[in-house]
Amino acid sequence: MQIIAGVLEEGLIYAFIALGIYITYRILDFPDLSVDGTFPLGGAVTAAVLSAGVNPFSALLISFAAGALAGTVTGLIHVKLKVRDLLSGIITMTALYSVNLRIAGKANVPLFSKVTIFSGIASLPVPEWLSPFMTSLTIFIIVLIGKFLLDAYMKTRSGYLLRAAGDNETLVTSLARDKGTVKIVGLSIANGFAALAGSVYCQQKQVFDVNMGTGTMVIGLASVIIGTKLFRHAGRIKDTTSVIAGSIVYKACVSIAIACGMAASDLKLITSVLFLVILVVSMDRNRKKKAVQHD
Partner 1 sequence: MIEIRHIHKFYNQGTVNEMCLFEDFSLTIGDGEFVSVVGSNGSGKTSLLNLICGSIPVDSGTILINGKDITNMPEFMRSRFIGRVYQNPAAGTCPNMTILENMSMADVKDKSFNLSPGTARERIPAYREMLSELGLGLEDKLDMKVGTLSGGQRQALALLMSAMTPIEFLILDEHTAALDPKTAEVIMKLTDRIVREKHLTTIMVTHNLRYAVEYGNRLIMMHEGKCIIDKAGKEKEDIRIDDILEKFNAISIEVGN
Please give the biggest Cα pair distance in the chain: 59
Residue 209, helix vs strand vs coil? strand
Are 273 and 262 a contacting pair, CB within 8 Å?
no
Q: How far apart (Å, rounded) are the C-alpha atoms in residues 244 and 250? A: 10
Does 286 bind partner 1 (CB under 8 A)? Our answer is no
Q: How far apart (Å, rounded) are the C-alpha atoms in residues 104 and 275? A: 31
Task: Scan residues 174-203 and list those touching partner 1 (CB under 8 A).
Answer: 174-179
Pick between residue 182 and residue 253 the one whose CB is nearest to partner 1. Answer: 182
Binding piece for partner 1, criterion CB under 8 A, among 75-83, 99-107, 155-163, 246-254: 155-163
Does 205 bind partner 1 (CB under 8 A)? Our answer is no
Least CB distance to partner 1 at residue 179 (A)? 7
| Residue 149 CB-half CA count within 13 A | 13
CB atoms inside a 10 Å sphere around CB 36: 26
Does 171 bind partner 1 (CB under 8 A)? Our answer is yes
Determine which helix (DSSP H) or strand (DSSP E) holds 283, and give its type and residue range. none
Does 153 bind partner 1 (CB under 8 A)? Our answer is yes
Binding piece for partner 1, criterion CB under 8 A, among 64-72, 170-178, 207-215, 280-288: 170-178
Are 11 and 247 a contacting pair, CB within 8 Å?
yes
Pick between residue 46 and residue 72 the one whose CB is nearest to partner 1. Answer: 72
Does 149 bind partner 1 (CB under 8 A)? Our answer is no
Does 164 bind partner 1 (CB under 8 A)? Our answer is yes
Please work out the total of residues on this chain that contact partner 1, with binding judged by CB under 8 A.
23
Least CB distance to partner 1 at residue 183 (A)? 13
Long-range contacts of residues 156-161, Cβ cutoff 8 Å, at least 24 apart: 158/185
Pick between residue 179 and residue 251 the one whose CB is nearest to partner 1. Answer: 179
Does 229 bind partner 1 (CB under 8 A)? Our answer is no
Q: How far apart (Å, rounded) are the C-alpha atoms in residues 90 and 55? A: 32
Does 172 bind partner 1 (CB under 8 A)? Our answer is yes
Binding piece for partner 1, criterion CB under 8 A, among 57-65, 172-180, 203-211, 282-290: 172-180
Does 290 bind partner 1 (CB under 8 A)? Our answer is no
Are 186 and 162 a contacting pair, CB within 8 Å?
yes
Are 183 and 79 a contacting pair, CB within 8 Å?
yes
Does 173 bind partner 1 (CB under 8 A)? Our answer is yes
Does 238 bind partner 1 (CB under 8 A)? Our answer is no
Does 233 bind partner 1 (CB under 8 A)? Our answer is no
Determine which helix (DSSP H) or strand (DSSP E) holds 214, and give its type and residue range. none
3-state secondary structure 124-144: CCCCCCCHHHHHHHHHHHHHH
Q: Which of 131, 170, 211, 286 binds partner 1 (CB under 8 A)?
A: 170
Residues near partner 1 (CB under 8 A) are: 153, 155-161, 163-164, 167-168, 170-179, 295
